[in-house]
Structure 1
């Protein structure tokens, strides 16, 4: 049985933030991770979150582009709180009822894009 966790909620928030700017590649999603003052999720954690989201229909995959489904967008917007940490924690609570017996296994998100996203994130943070 698979369940959603805080990291999954964090990544879902990043997909929302990237999409709001019209930037929905994996690198742009990583660069959009809200700054929570903790170490960034590694590529493997992002990949697992992606597969969970895809399985329950929270994201729409179009090649290397990823966007939220209408249900997920509503969930993330409804959870919004000014504090990034509280916002992500609220998203996690919204995801808690989902219990997954399985998950997808797709390969749209690459490690190369992840590394580019980390570079974008660090550059954005330094500005």
Structure 2
């Protein structure tokens, strides 16, 4: 097992926050002249790393989630991946992927808290 449910949620939260920071910071650094546009074009591999982290975090986190939360996680990560794949086609896909990242943070946080409550309840009843 690569991730436990709680670790998957933690990885999902951290990687989604880092993705938003990356999406906001890279254009600013190019505009400020700290990075040239060529480097920004070659940084697409970072997007694919975030996509892989998001997919694996959702896969492991959604295994024991409730039906509605599982559906929300998978729909949101699909939205996120589609937005990343469409960055070059639509300029608004950048904003869409940032919004999907924020939603993933919220969903992973909800899932994390639900698992923590579930484990506390099991400890009390045993």
Do Structure 1 and Structure 2 share a fold, with TM-score over 0.5?
no
| TM-score computed with the length of structure 2 as normaliser | 0.30
Would you tell me which structure has more helix in proportion to its own residues?
2
| TM-score computed with the length of structure 1 as normaliser | 0.30
Would you tell me which structure has more strand in proportion to its own residues?
1
Instruction: Point out the structure with max Rg over C-alpha.
Output: 2
